[in-house]
Amino acid sequence: MPELPEVEVTRRRLAPLLVGRTIASVETTKDSYFFLTKPPTLQLRLVGRTVRQLNRHGKYLLAELDDGDRLLLHLGMTGQLFSSAVTSPRLFSAKTRSSLTREGPPEFKADKHTHLCLHFTDGGPSVLFRDVRKFGKVLLLKSGIEDRRLGKLGVDALRATGRALFAAARARKVPIKTLLLDQAVIAGIGNIYADEALFLASVRPGRSARRVTASECDRIVAAAKRVMKRSIVTGGSSISDYVSPDGSDGGYQKERRVYARKGLPCLVCGTLIRRVVIATRSTHYCPACQV
Give Cα separations from 267 to 223, 253, 285, 289 (angstroms).
Answer: 16, 15, 11, 10
Among residues 13, 56, 59, 219, which one is catalytic? Answer: 59
Q: Angle formed by the axes of helices 4-18 and 214-233, to 10°?
A: 40
Residue 95 within binding range of DNA, rule CB under 7 A: yes
Q: Is 64 a catalytic residue?
A: no
- Could you give the CA distance from residue 25 to residue 99 in angstroms, rounded to a whole number? 21
Q: Is 59 a catalytic residue?
A: yes
- Could you give the CA distance from residue 239 to residue 216 in angstroms, rounded to a whole number? 28
Q: How far is the CB of 121 from DNA (least distance, A)?
A: 32
Task: Enumerate the β-bridge partners of residue 107.
Answer: 85
Instruction: State the number of binding residues for DNA (CB under 7 A).
Output: 33
Residue 157 within binding range of DNA, rule CB under 7 A: no
- Could you tell me which stretch among 73-81, 102-110, 221-229, 246-254 binds DNA (CB under 7 A)? 73-81
- Could you give the CA distance from residue 214 to residue 233 in angstroms, rounded to a whole number? 29
Give Cα separations from 33 to 130, 139, 151 (angstroms).
Answer: 14, 11, 21
Q: How far is the CB of 22 from DNA (least distance, A)?
A: 29
Residue 121 within binding range of DNA, rule CB under 7 A: no
- Could you give the CA distance from residue 257 to residue 288 in angstroms, rounded to a whole number? 14
Residue 143 within binding range of DNA, rule CB under 7 A: no
Q: How far apart are the first and last CA of the chain?
A: 27
For DNA, give the closer residue by CB, 51 or 258.
258
User: For DNA, what does the binding mask look like between residues 192 and 231, x meaning CB under 7 A?
Assistant: x---------------------------------------
- Could you tell me which stretch among 18-26, 38-46, 84-92, 274-282 binds DNA (CB under 7 A)? 274-282
Q: Is 281 a catalytic residue?
A: yes
Residue 183 within binding range of DNA, rule CB under 7 A: yes
Q: How far is the CB of 238 from DNA (least distance, A)?
A: 13
- Could you give the CA distance from residue 62 to residue 6 in angstroms, rounded to a whole number? 15
- Could you give the CA distance from residue 118 to residue 40 in angstroms, rounded to a whole number? 14
Residue 91 within binding range of DNA, rule CB under 7 A: no
Binding residues for DNA, per CB under 7 A?
1, 3, 32-33, 58-60, 74, 76-78, 93, 95, 113, 132-135, 149, 152, 172-174, 178, 181, 183, 190-192, 279-282
Task: Tell me which residues are annotated as active site.
Answer: 2-3, 59, 281
